[in-house]
Structure 1
Amino acid sequence: MNHSQPLCRLADIPDGDAIAVQVASATGGFELIVLRRGERAFAYHNECPHAGRNLDYAPGRFLVRDGRLTCAAHGATFAVESGACLGGPCRSGLVALRVDVVDGAVWLP
């Protein structure tokens, strides 16, 4: 695996919760939601497919409960492990990015 810099430490994310991580890019960067379930991590663009707004209710704070992430604006719900739309005003799921957990750090491959 060729990794350059970790997004965060797995321990930075409370188990069953999520944090926001800023990713730099040549086009100005973007924000990811990184969610934790045990020793696994899942990452999605911080953008609701319903209205294009961030899913957090306050910067970097997300509504995560029982394996579901809820958009704070309109209540759409998404599966933590797949990003699939589970209910509410969404026609599609979240845009996922693969992440790897290596030695306690979360990386984009």
Structure 2
Amino acid sequence: MLSPASRLVGLCNSADVGEGEAKGFGPVGGYRRKIIVLRKDGRLHAWLDACPHYPQGTPMAWRSNAYLNGDGTHIACHSHGALFDMQTGECVLGPCLGQGLTRVELTVNEQGEVFAALTEEEVAL
């Protein structure tokens, strides 16, 4: 369920992100960070592109859409070497062990358009 304080921002079409892929969209709608959208086991998940190792977060890709580790099993912060679970966002290896990525709630309409539900708190990141 969407928070009343959320604002829907269009990101992509569901078909734009294949199984085992992660892509960055944005920044969109005045937000400072990209949103990482990935598909794992048929489900879409989304995270702010901000490694929790630093208070303001650090962008994680070393080049466009390079959000996964070499074997495609984890989200990787290429600045710090941290690895994150693709479905939970929990850091499983690296300097931010025990922390996690900020989840972005998604909604998909009947046409397959994917929207992020962003809050004012996420705008500042």
Aligned to 1:81: 87
When the two structures are aligned, how many residues end up with a matched partner? Answer: 106
Identity of aligned residues (%): 32
Amino acid at match of 1:62: Y
Q: 1:107 aligns with which of 105, 115, 118?
A: 115
| Residues in 1 aligned to 2:8 and 2:47: alpha-carbon distance in whole angstroms | 19
Aligned to 1:56: 61
Change (3 A) 1:96 1:34: same
TM-score by length of 1: 0.80
SS at the partner of 1:30? coil
Residues 2-13 of structure 1 aligned to structure 2 (within 5 Å): 6-13=10-17
Instruction: Identify unmatched segments of 5+ residues in structure 1.
Output: none
Aligned to 2:105: 98
Instruction: Identify unmatched segments of 5+ residues in structure 2.
Output: 118-125
Residue-by-residue CA offset, 1:56-96 (whole Å, 9 max, x unaligned):
12033222422x11111221111111111111111410011
The RMSD of aligned alpha carbons is 2.3
TM-score by length of 2: 0.71
Q: Which has the higher strand share?
A: 1
| Residues in 2 aligned to 1:39 and 1:7: alpha-carbon distance in whole angstroms | 18
